[in-house]
Amino acid sequence: MNVMKLMKQAQTMQKDMERVQAQLAEKRVDFSSGGGMVTATATGDGGIVAIKIDPKVINPADKDLLEDMVLAAVDGAIKKSREMASSEMGKVTAGMGMPGMFGR
């Protein structure tokens, strides 16, 4: 393969990756636990931006259950965010022989 052509493809892919990363930072995914009682929202780049808790589950005597639901919602939102990011980045690297490059 022509080295200049390969360099041009790499530059194009890098620009595409930067564009996709910026778009991912703007996208949101939600994940709920406890039958929808706790919902965590993550950005496509893995940041947690919101946690919603239904007032019905706020019971000081059941603090451990609430903590478990928050943890499950946050964990699920992060996993969903990573799956979305991997899928979007996979579109950029398709055909370049780099499968799974961005999976975590």
pTM of the predicted structure, to 2 decimals: 0.71
- Rounded distance between C-alpha atoms, residue 81 and residue 19, angstroms: 17
- CATH numeric code, 23-85: 3.30.1310.10
Per-domain residue ranges of the chain:
23-85
Task: Judge contact between 48 and 12, C-beta under 8 A.
Answer: no
Task: Note the pLDDT tens digit of each residue in 56-73.
Answer: 989 889 889 999 999 999
How far is it between the farthest Cα atoms of the chain? 68
Angle at which helices 3-26 and 63-93 pack, to 10 degrees? 150
Summarised one tens digit per residue, pLDDT across range 19-51 is: 888 888 899 999 999 999 999 999 988 889 999
